[in-house]
Amino acid sequence: MNSILKTTELPYCKGCGHDLIAKKSAQALENLGLSPLDVIVVTDIGCHGIIDKCLNTHTVHGLHGRSVALGAGISFGIENPDKKVLVFIGDGGSTIGLQHIMEAARLNLNMTVVVHNNMLYGMTGGQTSGLTPRGFCTTTSFEGNPFAGYDICELTHTAGAAYSSRIMGVGDITDELVEAFSVKGFALTEVMEICPSYGVKLNPRRKLSEILESSGKKTGVWKNERKAFVLEQGKKSYDLLEELKGVEKDFPEVLASDLSLVISGSAGEGIQSAATLLASAAMRSGCHVTQKGSYPVTVGVGFSTAEVNLSPEPINFHGIGVPDIAIITSADGLAHSKKRIEGMKKGKLFIDESLETPSTGAEVIKRDFRSAGARSACMYAVIYFAKSTGIVDTESIYKTIEESGLAEKMPLSKIKEKIGSLN
């Protein structure tokens, strides 16, 4: 079973260029000394795609226009460079799957694509494709396509393909295909054809060479001197659990019951990191914790809110409606959490002194949190909360900050000084 084709009786209409492409592709592969099982032919939906059953190669028959992406996935997974990934696709498939072709060309993946360009969708009734030339008649543009077609070779060449070529699908094209199939890297050959069922009938007396010429395109070869993409072996892999720092219980337990906190400020002002440091510090006293962030999709502007639960027991549900504690360090944060603060019937609100106090049943504690600087206001407020309530040991927070390496990024001694004067 050394021949690529099982049969020379191919399932194509009389005069169809697909027949020529299939036979000459098989010949080209054989001329290159490839055995059928060295070759993976990827096809998709369209007349070109019914070739599978006639091949002795591996065959993969996928979705309309996706064969280049599917072939790319196979190319990524192949470690033996002598294996050949050969993709057959039509002009319709090239239209819907243009992004896949561009991507494979950009990455210069080791694969060859043969575009069967008969200038219309043959299988579905002769409709106009993105590669149909201007003026060419189809069943959906019977007065001639008003739009110019893509120049697929120019596109792949510009995207970085090692090899792009356009040939006429007439006569013996074996040598041209051998040249394309020999390329290491991404090679695309566009073979020009006229569909005998629709193209010939709708465009009587027009010759393929004249159609190509009138579209402003030429046959030819366009090359980029590039090495084929090779998958980097031995990529470093990090164990995601081993790299996590374990938290030892090195402070006494202080928390007697569940406590929920909402910490709100402005994006970029360290809200989430302050919340994480608080949660980590609480773990050192044996607390169970949860911490999550909430912010607009644009992460650099607007509010940033963190929700923290502390509990002496394991926590299942971590949602917080009305919190026990609210810590607010900016106008953005206040606006985002105002409703919750107004819903507080008890608990404590720690709020920067520059902000207007909302109506709330919580005890209000106003301080100059922003005096620590915008980026450290929240950290200061969190430490202040810890100190004034005794719920989390401030020493455990300091130790956590120092171990995290964040101490140098905040005016910790200034914050300590302010906290130290509290009693």
Partner 1 sequence: MQKSSNERKVLIDGSRLITEGMARAGADSFIGYPITPANLLYLYASRRMPLMLPAPDEITTLQWMSGLSATGRLPVTATSFPGFALMIESVNMAFMMELPMVIVVVQRLGPATGTATCGAQGDIALLRGMISGGHQLPVLCTSDFNDCWELSSRSVSLAAELRTPVVLLTSKEEVMTQKSFDLSLLESISPVKREFYNSNMPYQSYGVEGDEIAPPFLPVTTDKWQVRLNASTHDRNGILQHSNDEAIANTVRLDRKAAESLDSFTYYELDEQDGADTLVVSYGITASAARDAVRKARSKGRKVSLLVPKTILPLPDDYRMIMGKYQKVIIAEENINAQFADLVFGSAIPANIVTAGSAGKMITPSEILKEEDCV
Interaction pattern, residues 167-196, with partner 1; x per rule: CB under 8 A: ------------------------------
Binding of residue 57 to partner 1 (CB under 8 A): yes
Which of 9, 146, 225, 244 is close enough to bind partner 1 by CB under 8 A?
A: 244
Please, what's the b/e burial string for 269-301 (b: 16 or more CB within 10 A of its CB; e: otherwise)?
bbbbbbbbbbbbbbbbbebbbbbeeebeeeeee
Nearer to partner 1, 239 or 408 (CB): 239
Nearer to partner 1, 83 or 134 (CB): 83
Task: Fill in the DSSP letter of residue 5.
Answer: B
Binding of residue 127 to partner 1 (CB under 8 A): no
Distances (CA, A) of 269 to 86, 231, 368, 375: 53, 40, 15, 4
Binding of residue 100 to partner 1 (CB under 8 A): yes
CA distance linking residue 421 with residue 423, whole number of Å? 6
Going by C-alpha positions, the residue among 283, 286, 284, 292 that lies closest to residue 261 is 292
Nearest approach, Cβ of 295 to partner 1 (angstroms)?
A: 7
CA distance linking residue 95 with residue 273, whole number of Å? 47
Interaction pattern, residues 192-231, with partner 1; x per rule: CB under 8 A: ---------------------------------------x
Binding of residue 289 to partner 1 (CB under 8 A): yes
Nearest approach, Cβ of 93 to partner 1 (angstroms)?
A: 13
Going by C-alpha positions, the residue among 168, 150, 167 that lies closest to residue 159 is 150
| Contact region with partner 1 (CB under 8 A), list: 45-53, 154-162, 173-181, 194-202 | 45-53
Q: Which residue has the tokens 């070759």?
A: 39
Crossing angle of helices 412-420 and 377-389, rounded to 10°: 30
Nearest approach, Cβ of 106 to partner 1 (angstroms)?
A: 9
Nearer to partner 1, 184 or 416 (CB): 184
Our measurement of the distance from residue 78's CA atom to the centroid of its chain's CA atoms, rounded to an integer in Å, reads 22
| Contact region with partner 1 (CB under 8 A), list: 129-137, 155-163, 279-287, 368-376 | 279-287
Nearest approach, Cβ of 80 to partner 1 (angstroms)?
A: 7
Going by C-alpha positions, the residue among 35, 2, 38, 6 that lies closest to residue 22 is 6
Neighbour tally for 322: CB within 10 Å: 18
Nearer to partner 1, 276 or 360 (CB): 276
Which of 22, 187, 287, 341 is close enough to bind partner 1 by CB under 8 A?
A: 287
Distances (CA, A) of 39 to 34, 100, 293: 7, 21, 51
Binding of residue 40 to partner 1 (CB under 8 A): yes
Interaction pattern, residues 103-122, with partner 1; x per rule: CB under 8 A: x-------------------
Contact between residue 65 and residue 102 where contact means Cβ atoms under 8 Å apart: no
Nearer to partner 1, 204 or 314 (CB): 314
Binding of residue 83 to partner 1 (CB under 8 A): yes
Binding of residue 276 to partner 1 (CB under 8 A): yes
CA distance linking residue 71 with residue 96, whole number of Å? 16
CA distance linking residue 228 with residue 274, whole number of Å? 47
Residue 287 makes CB contacts below 8 A (sequence gap 6+) with: 253, 255, 310, 311, 312, 392
Which of 4, 34, 72, 378 is close enough to bind partner 1 by CB under 8 A?
A: 72
Which of 31, 58, 127, 416 is close enough to bind partner 1 by CB under 8 A?
A: 58
Going by C-alpha positions, the residue among 283, 284, 254 that lies closest to residue 390 is 254
CA distance linking residue 253 with residue 287, whole number of Å? 7
Interaction pattern, residues 305-344, with partner 1; x per rule: CB under 8 A: ----------xxxxx-x-----------------------
Which residues of the chain form contacts with partner 1 (CB under 8 A)? Answer: 36-38, 40, 45, 50, 52-53, 56-63, 66, 69-80, 83, 99-100, 103, 231, 235, 237-241, 244-249, 276, 279-280, 283, 287-297, 315-319, 321
